[in-house]
Amino acid sequence: MTNTYTYFIANWKMFGLKKSVFGLKNVVNLTKSNNFKNIKIVYCPPVTILSQFHQLTKKTKISLGAQNCHHEKNFGPHTGNINAKMIKDVGAKYVILGHSDSRNEGDTDELINKKIKNALLQNLKIIFCIGENLKERKNNKTFLVIKKQIFKGLENVKSIDNIIFAYEPVWSIGSGKVLTADALHNDILNIKKIIQKKYKFKNPKILYGGSVNEKNILELKNVSLLNGFLIGGASQNQKKFIDIIKKTFK
Ligand code: PGA
């Protein structure tokens, strides 16, 4: 791990009810320990329960995020949607954009670019997901795909100070399949080079996501270029989530 904050971002996807907030207590306690003062935990539950999460976490070091937002910055007739302003209003500081689930449901690079720009206007931090699917990987297109996602997603975005990149190979999400630490190191190195070339930014923040669990973390934590993890399924179970955090530093 690099020596700045290590991020543990919990992406709850379409799971969770109001009562789920009680499952955060031990995580809150963990953040009070001095051993973990250099970690940043960000919960991204469904927006329906963001305010419950906000009540419980507002006096803690835990931050909140949403899982997507609409590309329009102003209020308007977009039934079923929420914009970046609303996300900020409910107490969230982060928003996940470009997740493969959202790309599958119609988010193009152009829409993601609009969303990123609007979220930045609201001073939200962006967890910007990028990653190739299996076919692209097999055809050696991984970095071509990622370069396109980064360049189009960040078109006319001047600064990446508030962007955290999350490399999530689509074939790894929810599948139990992960790269070896060496292979992942190589991928992260290449992605960093793509970002550094565009932004001349020495140290872009980059996370890994895709089937991270309390077992494979022992391998994944060896990728020293990473700034943390974006965790889906395992983050909904506080015991597993805490295990992942603790084992990262063992
Ligand atoms: P997973 O999800 O950890 O369940 O694979 C990761 C994600 O989709 O962000």
Residue 116 has pLDDT above 60, yes or no: yes
Residue 95 has phi, psi (to 5 degrees) of -145, 135
pTM for the model: 0.97
Share of the chain above pLDDT 70, in %: 99
Q: What six digits make up the tokens of 189?
A: 């190195």
Q: How far is the CA of 30 from the centre of ligand 1 (A)?
A: 22
Q: 3-class DSSP state for residue 230?
A: strand
Q: What is the tens place of the pLDDT at every residue in 144-175?
A: 999 999 999 999 999 999 999 999 999 999 99
Per-residue pLDDT band at 250 (split at 50, 70, 90): confident
| Helical H segments across the chain, by residue range | 25-32, 50-57, 84-89, 100-104, 109-121, 134-138, 142-153, 181-199, 217-220, 238-248
Mean pLDDT of 101-116: 98
Q: Which residue's alpha carbon is nearest to atom 7 within ligand 1?
A: 232
Mean pLDDT of 114-135: 98
Q: Which residue's alpha carbon is nearest to atom 1 within ligand 1?
A: 232
Q: How far is the CA of 220 from the centre of ligand 1 (A)?
A: 14
Mean pLDDT of 237-246: 97
Q: How far is the CA of 97 from the centre of ligand 1 (A)?
A: 14
Q: 3-class DSSP state for residue 221?
A: coil
Among this protein's residues, is 72 annotated catalytic? no
Q: How far is the CA of 100 from the centre of ligand 1 (A)?
A: 10
Per-residue pLDDT band at 44 (split at 50, 70, 90): very high
Q: Does ligand 1 have an atom closer than 6 angstroms to the CB of 42?
A: no
Mean pLDDT of 181-201: 94
Per-residue pLDDT band at 200 (split at 50, 70, 90): confident
Mean pLDDT of 2-25: 90
Give dist(CA 179, CA 172) in Å, integer: 8
Residue 244 has pLDDT above 90, yes or no: yes
Do the Cβ atoms of 84 and 119 come closer than 8 Å? yes
Q: What is the tens place of the pLDDT at every residue in 48-57?
A: 999 999 999 9
Q: Does ligand 1 have an atom closer than 6 angstroms to the CB of 132?
A: no
Number of the ligand 1 atom closest to the C-alpha atom of 100:
8
Query: b vs e for 164-176, b when ≥16 Cβ sit within 10 Å of the residue's Cβ?
Result: bbbbbbbbbbeee
Give dist(CA 227, CA 235) in Å, integer: 17
Looking at every residue in the chain, the average pLDDT score rounds to 96
7, 8, 11, best to mutate for ligand 1 pocket (most atoms within 8 Å of CB)? 11
Q: How large is the greatest C-alpha to C-alpha distance in the chain, in angstroms?
A: 50
Q: What is the pLDDT of residue 232?
A: 98
Q: What is the CB neighbour count within 10 angstroms for residue 23?
A: 14
Catalytic residue, chosen from 70, 71, 99, 136, is: 99
